[in-house]
């Protein structure tokens, strides 16, 4: 019997860091099992074992990815029943949250999203109202479903561990009929930069870049950072919508957030104000972003960013 079940959705050739974080948290809750979808190669199986998973469940159906969340939630509910787990951990991606939501109804289980920390008894910590409150919440039901934000624990393996056992879970027959079908899918080009939601450093540009993201991108590359943007910049088409940070974009909580040419509207702050250190570059001293910046520079981003990039390159040799 497992105590915690971690959902890992189609990771491809290697596990994402966020999955390793979930496995690390799961271990603190007790014996861990994994509900897996996609191809389980030997490397991935060995990593799951090294992170303490004793059983890996696989679905009887292979095409769960052709539907929106419904069949995955049904599969996961069946895996919870088989494993006896009392805590289910998922990614905090939009899809992870939706699977969590549907699973909660199927299992009569409380769901807590946007979790940043989990205690051994399942109490969850999160921040709400755009980062203005820290709360602790708990499910009052026998099973707890938690979607956990990335970057809140250091992943740590248990050391040398046996490869986990595998078991197949029958996906309930009705699950597919009632789901939306994905009729077409195109993969977006990948940038080679770190994933925005998981990056340790984010450099973001706003309307102030006036169509030219090069200084933002060059500083990001010098720092090994992800590139973010305000909605004004994505709406203008200067950069893809995926880069939008904020209420209706990605929420980030990196070690360092550098905001350049962004005024700091409430919807932008909602996505970045839990960053550890905030640096703002803006030529308007009255910009609200300066109210929350640890280090603010009143100046022209086209002068400040390239100078900083050159200086970093010089110091790194």
Residues 287 and 295 sit within 8 Å (Cβ to Cβ): no
Per DSSP, the three-state class of 304 is: helix
For other proteins, the closer CB: 4 or 73: 73
User: Which residues, 6+ apart, have CB-to-CB distance to 139 below 8 Å?
Assistant: 109, 110, 111, 112, 122, 145
Using CB under 6 A as the binding rule, whether residue 283 contacts ligand FAD is answered as yes
Please list every residue from 91 through 130 that binds other proteins, using CB under 8 A: 93-95, 97-102, 104-106, 108-114, 123, 127-130
Q: How far is CA 175 from the centre of its chain?
A: 26
Using CB under 6 A as the binding rule, whether residue 305 contacts ligand FAD is answered as no
Only one of the segments 30-38, 47-55, 206-214, 287-295 lies at the binding site for other proteins (rule: CB under 8 A); that segment is 287-295
- The distance of closest approach from Cβ of residue 49 to other proteins in the complex, given in angstroms and rounded to an integer, is 27
Using CB under 6 A as the binding rule, whether residue 284 contacts ligand FAD is answered as yes
Give the integer Cα–Cα distance in Å for 67 and 99.
Answer: 12
Residues 287 and 304 sit within 8 Å (Cβ to Cβ): no
Per DSSP, the three-state class of 276 is: coil
Please list every residue from 243 through 282 that binds ligand FAD, using CB under 6 A: 244-249, 261-263, 265, 267-268, 271, 281-282
For other proteins, the closer CB: 44 or 77: 77
What sign does the CA torsion over 228, 233, 238, 244 have? Answer: positive
Q: Which of 38, 117, 131, 172 binds other proteins (CB under 8 A)?
A: 131
Closest CA to 203 of 190, 192, 211, 193: 193
Residue 120 binds which entry of other proteins, ligand FAD, none, CB below 5-8 Å type-dependent: none
Using CB under 8 A as the binding rule, whether residue 64 contacts other proteins is answered as no
Residues near ligand FAD, by CB under 6 A = 206-208, 230-233, 244-249, 261-263, 265, 267-268, 271, 281-284, 287, 300-302
């Amino acid at each position: 019997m497992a105590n915690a079940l971690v959902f890992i959705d189609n990771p491809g050739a290697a596990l994402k860091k966020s999955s390793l974080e979930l496995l690390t948290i799961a271990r603190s809750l007790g014996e861990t099992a994994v509900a897996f979808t996609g191809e389980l190669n030997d490397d991935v199986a060995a990593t799951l074992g090294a992170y303490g998973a004793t059983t890996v469940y696989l679905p009887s159906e292979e095409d769960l990815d052709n539907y929106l969340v419904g069949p995955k939630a049904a599969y996961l509910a069946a895996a919870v029943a088989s494993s006896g787990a009392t805590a289910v951990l998922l990614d905090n991606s939009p899809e992870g949250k939706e699977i969590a939501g549907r699973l909660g109804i199927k299992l009569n289980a409380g769901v807590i999203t946007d979790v940043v920390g989990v205690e051994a008894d399942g109490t969850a910590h999160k921040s709400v109202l755009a980062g203005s409150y820290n709360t602790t919440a708990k499910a009052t039901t026998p099973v707890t479903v938690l979607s956990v934000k990335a970057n809140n624990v250091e992943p740590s393996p248990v050391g040398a561990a046996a490869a986990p056992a595998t078991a197949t879970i029958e996906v309930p027959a009705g699950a597919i009929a009632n789901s939306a079908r994905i009729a077409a899918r195109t993969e977006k080009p990948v940038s080679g930069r770190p994933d925005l939601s998981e990056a340790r450093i984010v450099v973001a540009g706003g309307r102030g870049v006036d169509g030219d993201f090069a200084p933002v991108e060059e500083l990001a590359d010098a720092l090994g950072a992800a590139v973010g943007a305000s909605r004004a910049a994505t709406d203008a088409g200067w950069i893809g919508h995926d880069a939008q940070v904020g209420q209706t974009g990605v929420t980030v909580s990196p070690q360092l957030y550098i905001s350049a040419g962004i005024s700091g509207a409430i919807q932008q702050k909602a996505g970045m104000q839990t960053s550890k250190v905030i640096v703002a570059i803006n030529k308007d001293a009255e910009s609200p972003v300066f109210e929350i910046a640890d280090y603010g520079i009143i100046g022209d981003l086209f002068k400040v960013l390239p100078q900083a990039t050159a200086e970093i390159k010089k110091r790194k040799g």
